[in-house]
A and B are shown apart, each in its own frame.
Chain A
Amino acid sequence: MAVITYREALNEALREEMDRDEAVFIIGEEVGEYDGAYKVSKGLLDTYGEWRVRDAPIAELGFAGLGVGAAMVGLRPVVEFMTWNFALLAIDQVINSAAKLYQMSGGQYNVPIVFRGPGGAALQLAAQHSQCPEPWLSYVPGLKVVAPATAHDAKGLLKAAIRDNDPVCFIESELMYNTVKDDVPEQEYVIPIGSAAVKREGTDVTIVTYAKMVHQSLAAATKLEAEGIDVEVIDLRTVRPIDVPTVIESVKKTNRAVIVEEGWPACNVGSQLVDDIQRDAFDWLDAPIARVSGLDVPMPYARNLEKLVFPNADHVVEAVRHVCHVN
């Protein structure tokens, strides 16, 4: 085991998969000579050359579609969006091409492609650079959506995404690239897409969360432990497909659920999870399900306002106390 950063874990995953399969290439803005806008692709150009590490013009629609076309004829592109906010320019290729071609062609053309890059808020980047794309993407049949919270999961899931035969949207985080560090095995491993992880075991309440909010939730759990509330934290890791059985099993044990995510509250991942839980575990619930999310506003720039919008551990603590009927 070695402790490495989230960023280094992604870089290792790319290298290992590019070594393993010559069909894997990366394309995106600044991925080559500049070593990546966030240095995830550091050093890859030197190792693999320009056809496998392609610096693209600022033309997200074009180079995302290039990836889809290359995937149709057997390559395994990793399309890097400098951030998922810019992927909105390419959403036609993600949704209308990548997600649909396998079905529209009657199962002839699958699209083994990874669209990856950071999503969510960073530090005072304002409204256009602070969005969480997971709900938009996980609405779409044909896509898989992955959002890991740890270096270990980032590496294992990116390797799985690259090997997957269908389009996978992989959402990282500017804030986690450098600050999240954890143990990563020396030997090779792959984490299956669609499997959640119990990041902390507990008996009183289940927190279901993913990505950055895993860390806020774990911090909340530590605080709540001092109050005598034993929290279980489930990291979904994949938001399409959601590992519903793992969630249900936990809720049946704790009888209470709090769903925590970073983005806007309407029609988000939590909205869907509430439906899944009430359908499969209604009789086990001792309290209404609580949801913690960002505020329902475009992200403002001012430091104090951004802090208000962004959900934190204290908000999670409040929600847990609420479902446990503790004031």
Chain B
Amino acid sequence: MSEPTEPVATGQEPPAGQEPPRGRDGDGMGGNGAGAGETAAPREPATAPDEDRAGELAAEGDSTDFLGLSRDESVELLRLMILARRVEEKTAEVYQMGKIGGFCHLYIGQEAVAVGAITPLRSDDYLITAYREHAQALVRGITPESVMSELYGRVDGCSGGYGGSMHMFSKELNFMGGHGIVGSHLPLAIGAAYAVRYRGGDQVCLCFFGDSVVNIGAFHESMNMAARWGLPVIFFLENNAYGMGTDIRRVAAADELVQRGKAFAGLESVVVDGMDVLAVRQIMDEAIARGRNEKRPTFIEARCYRYMGHSMADPSHGTYRTREEVEKWRSDDPILSYRRRLIDAGRLTAGEYDEMDRTAIEKAEGAAEFADASPFPEPSAVYENVYSDEYAHGIARRDRWRKEFS
């Protein structure tokens, strides 16, 4: 790590049964509280985390030359992380106001992954992901207004209000969604990569997923086919250490999750610090080149952390992790640490940062106002988009008592 002064999060636990400390951070980031359930006493995870996440990293961010990025390019990475953070904070706020329904999984804490991994892609590359994808949609280029409108279930949403939090799409941006069944989209990712080889193209397909996926059959089936057939897919594991409320080490028989990829001949499998945007970007540059030029897949395990609960319905901490653990990771915040690097390198001033942050907050506010004003879908839209061509005798014929559609 290039910032040795920062404490690196580990799993040092307080005594079992100790009440978590109260109060909020003053750094202005990640600040929507820890969610519900704070009364639960923490206890030790069944398997205590015992590794420094930076312990065996294959790549580290280069703070001296910023990977050859120009000043503006390097600052843009920060801008995108701040925007993602502020939009998610606004999302949490309006969710609690009842503006957003259903499940809502926030990305706060993992911004370095989305920005580091997505920004080096070309516009004709493919991107597919799971259900914690609002920030990834933003970084790929879906506007905050469109993301927020989708969360509100309105016509201006990127999926027209049909998908919601978990199902954001943009065919124009090759953003292949937002998938809600854990692990189900990995086979889709290799399908897109298969189509690239089929057509003789040089795109790659970036596929994000969480740590729980390593135990799912589709993970192994997809890696096997991608490696065997030379499919240009990047399997990007965001290891935030918990599948909902279960420490991955309690349910995965692996010392390190990256080992799972090493079972497949031809699948380059590497670890990266997911809290370091430049490290992520650097390892993605290598994976993209491997896919484009060598037609080989890559498996990246990024070690990162979500500050919030699994979804808006879940506590940030309590039975499965301690407040102290969350605080330790937050003290190595990807936005604040990258901000410091840019300032130390003379690429950013504190005033510019504040201005960028104000702009992000305004965009998030504006997106929420836009979404609130966007119309709900017309009732007649309920039968649209079920089939892409005319259904033989109409799909509404069995609903004859539902006069609102007739």
Contacting residues of chain B (193-222) with chain A, CB-CB under 8 angstroms:
193-195, 197-198, 217-218, 221-222
Interface segment, one of A67-75, A124-132, A180-188, A255-263: A67-75
Whole-angstrom distance between the alpha carbons of A12 and B387 in the complex?
27
Contact status A165-B184, CB under 8 Å? no
Interface pair A106/B160, CB less than 8 Å apart: yes
With A69-B194, A74-B195, A166-B387 as contacts: A101 and B177 at CB distance below 8 Å: yes
**A66 B187 Cβ-Cβ under 8 A:** yes
Partner of B159, one of A108, A193, A245: A108
B169 and A103 contact, CB distance less than 8 A: no
Q: Which residues of A contact B270 (CB under 8 A)?
A: none
Query: From residue A62, how far is it (CB to closest CB) to chain B in Å?
Result: 3
Say yes or no for A102: interface residue by CB 8 A criterion.
yes
Binary CB contact string for chain B from 384 to 397 against chain A (1 if under 8 A, 0 otherwise): 11111101110101
| Chain B residues within 8 Å of chain A by Cβ, number | 52
Among A35-43, A51-59, A226-234, which stretch is in contact with chain B? A51-59
B57 beta carbon closer than 8 Å to chain A: no
A318 within 8 A of B: no
B249 within 8 Å of A (CB atoms): no
Give the distance in Å from the alpha carbon of A242 to the alpha carbon of B392 in the complex: 8
Cα-based distance from A195 to B194 in the complex (angstroms): 34
Closest to A66 in B: B191
Taking the closest CB of chain B, its distance from the CB of A274, in whole angstroms, is 13
A141 to B397: give the CA distance in the assembly, Å: 13
Nearest neighbor of A144 in chain B, beta-carbon distance: B387
Interface residue A194 (Cβ < 8 Å from any Cβ of B):
yes
Q: Are A57 and B225 in contact (CB under 8 A)?
A: yes
Flag whether A1 is at the interface (Cβ < 8 A).
no
Say whether B159 contacts A104, CB under 8 Å: yes
Instruction: Indicate whether B299 reaches chain A with its CB closer than 8 angstroms.
Output: no
CB pair A70 B384 closer than 8 Å: no
B57 to chain A, nearest CB (A): 30
A144–B389 Cα distance when bound, in Å, is: 12
Interface 9-mer from A2-10, A91-99, A291-299: A91-99
Is A81 interfacial (CB-CB < 8 Å)? no
Rounded to whole angstroms, the CA-CA distance of A92 and B187 in the bound complex is: 11
What is the total number of residues of chain A having a CB less than 8 Å from a CB of chain B? 53
**Please, how many angstroms separate the alpha-carbon atoms of A101 and B187 in the complex?**
14
Chain A residues whose C-beta falls within 8 Å of the C-beta of B393 in the assembled complex: 194, 241-245
B10 in the interface (beta carbon within 8 A)? no
> Which single residue of chain B is at the shortest CB-CB distance from A141?
B386
- Contact of A164 with B by CB under 8 A: yes
Q: A276-303 interface mask toward B, CB cutoff 8 Å, 1 = contact, 0 = none?
A: 0000000000000000000000000000
A25 touches B198 (CB 8 A): yes
Q: Can you name the residue of chain B whose Cβ is closest to the Cβ of A103?
A: B385
Contact B388–A102 (Cβ < 8 Å)? yes
Cα(A57)–Cα(B223), bound, Å: 12
Whether A105 contacts B194 in the complex (CB less than 8 A), given A68-B188, A97-B179, A166-B387, comes out as no
Q: Assess the B190–A66 pair: CB atoms within 8 A.
A: yes
A107 and B384: CB pair below 8 A? yes
* Given A73-B192, A102-B385, A141-B386, A62:B187 Cβ within 8 A: yes
- Residues in A with CB closer than 8 Å to B197 are 51
Report the bound CA distance from A52 to B189 in whole Å: 18
In the bound assembly, the distance between CA atoms of A105 and B167 in angstroms comes to 7
Question: Complex: how many Å from CA A72 to CA B387?
Answer: 14
Report yes or no: A105 in contact with B187, Cβ–Cβ below 8 A: no
B86 shortest CB reach to chain A, Å: 25
A139 within 8 A of B: no
Given contacts A66-B225, A75-B198, A142-B387, contact A105 B159 (CB under 8 A): yes
Residues in chain B near residue A77, CB distance under 8 A: 191
For B359-391 the 0/1 string (1 means CB < 8 A from A) is 000000000000000000000000011111101
Q: How many angstroms between the C-alpha atoms of A103 and B198 in the bound complex?
A: 27
B224 contacts partner chain A, Cβ-Cβ < 8 Å: yes
Residues B190 and A57 in contact, CB atoms below 8 Å apart: no
Residue in B160, B163, B191, B397 whose CB lies within 8 Å of A244: B397
A64 within 8 A of B: yes
For chain A, residues 186 to 204, give those with C-beta under 8 angstroms from any C-beta of chain B: 192-195
Across the interface, B388 reaches (CB within 8 A) one of A59, A166, A194, namely A166
The verdict on A110 contacting chain B, using a C-beta distance below 8 Å, is: yes
Instruction: Specify which chain A residues have a CB less than 8 angstroms from the CB of B387 in the assembled complex.
Output: 102, 142, 144, 166
A120 in contact (CB, < 8 A): no
A106 engages B176 (CB within 8 Å):
no
Would A108 and B171 be within 8 Å (CB), given that A25-B198, A73-B195, A243-B392 are in contact? Answer: yes
- Flag whether B248 is at the interface (Cβ < 8 A): no
- Tell me, rounded to whole Å, the shortest Cβ–Cβ distance linking A251 to chain B: 16
B161: Cβ under 8 A from any A Cβ? yes
The answer on a CB contact under 8 Å between B388 and A165 is yes
**What is the bound-complex CA distance between A128 and B287, given in angstroms?**
43
| Residue A177 CB within 8 A of the other chain | no
Q: Is B61 located at the chain interface by the 8 A CB criterion?
A: no
3 shortest interchain CB distances as A-B pairs: A69-B191, A65-B187, A194-B392
> Could you show 29 A-B contacts with beta carbons less than 8 Å apart?
A52-B198, A56-B225, A59-B225, A61-B218, A62-B190, A64-B187, A65-B187, A66-B222, A67-B191, A69-B128, A69-B176, A69-B188, A69-B194, A69-B195, A70-B192, A71-B191, A73-B176, A92-B184, A97-B185, A103-B385, A105-B159, A105-B162, A105-B163, A105-B169, A106-B160, A107-B160, A108-B171, A141-B386, A141-B395
Extra A-B contacts (8), CB below 8 Å, given A70-B198, A108-B171: A68-B188, A69-B194, A72-B176, A73-B191, A104-B159, A104-B178, A107-B388, A243-B393
Chain B residues within 8 Å of A, Cβ to Cβ: 126, 128, 157-163, 167, 169-171, 176-181, 184-195, 197-198, 217-218, 221-222, 224-225, 228-229, 384-389, 391-393, 395, 397
